[in-house]
Amino acid sequence: MKTLDIESVRAFVLAADLKSFTRAAEALDTTQSAVSLKIKRLEARLGRRLIERTPRLVRLSAEGQAFLDPARDLIAAHEAAIGSFNAEYHRLVLGISRHLVGDNLPILLKRMNASDPTIILEMRVGPSYDVMATFDRGAIDAAIVLQHDDGRRGGEVLREEGFGWMSAPDFTQREDEPLRLATQAEPCTVRAMVIKALAATGRPWTEVFVGGGVTTLGAAASAGLAIAALARRVAPSTTIDHGPRLGLPPLPTRQVMLYSNVSDRRSRAALKLLAAAFRAGA
């Protein structure tokens, strides 16, 4: 009877989810070569090729795809067994910019829970400046925000977030009318970025919808009510970037930053996984 090394299975699942050996290594706090070796040993143990390796992408083979869900179940069962005796629950309070929370949130939460089901995640979503003010007061353990132009030092850069002028494919805009916009309420740094970009080109605009997060802006954009400046990573799949068609100015990228005050091993591990997922574009 074959037995499997749980850490090798974990490395495989992370590499499959994050589509990168490098990001899987970050999440596991190890090296890319160590992840590759674990997966090779797992493949040798199973006698199956699980991953098709290419220079730029990790892609599952047909056998790897078939193994992925059972591998997740194995990890979940292992974590449940480990935590069955005197499991100590631990709270991690995370603040996150409302511009960074979209349809990908369930996937991120599922991965974090699979990594450590005894962590109670308290998530607070709001404008980046509010999240950072809460972090500075010590009311939250970590913050993931869009970088402000305020000279703040420190923090960890997770990725460069690109924005597009998103709306439904059938969105129409008459040339003689101001651009119809869906925005966040003031003050909002992304809103300010949009207005600055339009002002630089002399493009008239009018605000027709004011939302309270990506979900509401995405709904307005998906309905074709207006154009919303959304991070492409979290924009609804029912929207497209109308910028080139409408001659709208390119929007600058913004750095996604992680700030953390955590020192305990479990919280650090959870944040490493979350950071790796953001870097992978998940």
**Token pair of 79 as six digits:** 């974590």
Provide DSSP, the chain. Answer: -----HHHHHHHHHHHHHT-HHHHHHHHTS-HHHHHHHHHHHHHHHTS--EEE-SS-EEE-HHHHHHHHHHHHHHHHHHHHHTTSS---EEEEEEEEGGG-STTHHHHHHHHHHH-TTEEEEEEEE-HHHHHHHHHTTSSSEEEEEPPSS-----EEEEEEPEEEEE-TT----TTSPEEEEEEPSS-HHHHHHHHHHHHHT--EEEEEEESSHHHHHHHHHTTS-EEEEETTTS-TT-EE-HHHHTPPPPPPEEEEEEE---SHHHHHHHHHHHHHHHTT-
Asked if 161 contacts 101 with a C-beta cutoff of 8 angstroms, the reply is no
279 confidence band (pLDDT: 50, 70, 90)? confident
Give the HSE-up count for residue 257: Cα atoms under 13 Å, Cβ half-sphere: 18
Predicted local confidence at residue 86, as pLDDT: 56
Q: What is the 3-state secondary structure (H, E, C) of 194-219?
A: HHHHHHHHCCCEEEEEEECCHHHHHH
Compute the distance between CA of residue 56 and CA of residue 47 in angstroms, rounded to an integer: 25
For range 51-70, the mean pLDDT: 82
**C-beta of residue 75 within 8 angstroms of C-beta of residue 28:** no
Structure tokens at 239: 């929207």
- At 251 the pLDDT is 92
Q: pLDDT (tens digit, 9 = 90+) per residue, 75-134? A: 877 777 766 665 677 788 989 888 888 777 777 777 777 667 777 888 888 888 888 899
Please, what is the average pLDDT of the chain?
84
Query: Exposure of 37 by Cβ count < 10 A (0-12 exposed, 13-18 middle, 19+ buried)?
Result: middle
**pLDDT tens digits along 142-166:** 999 988 766 677 788 888 889 999 9
Please give the backbone phi and psi of residue 275, each rounded to the nearest 5 degrees, phi first: -65, -40
pLDDT (0 to 100) of residue 239:
93
- Tokens 């730029």 locate to 56
Sorted by where each starts, the structural domains of the chain and their CATH numbers stand as 6-82 (1.10.10.10), 90-158+255-279 (3.40.190.10), 163-252 (3.40.190.10)
Token pair belonging to 38: 């674990």
pLDDT digits (tens, 9 = 90+) for 216-257: 888 999 999 999 999 888 888 899 999 999 999 999 988 888
Indicate the range of 204-213, 241-250, 263-272 predicted with least confidence.
263-272
Sorted by sequence, the CB contacts under 8 Å of residue 159 that are 6+ apart come out as 255, 256, 278, 279, 281
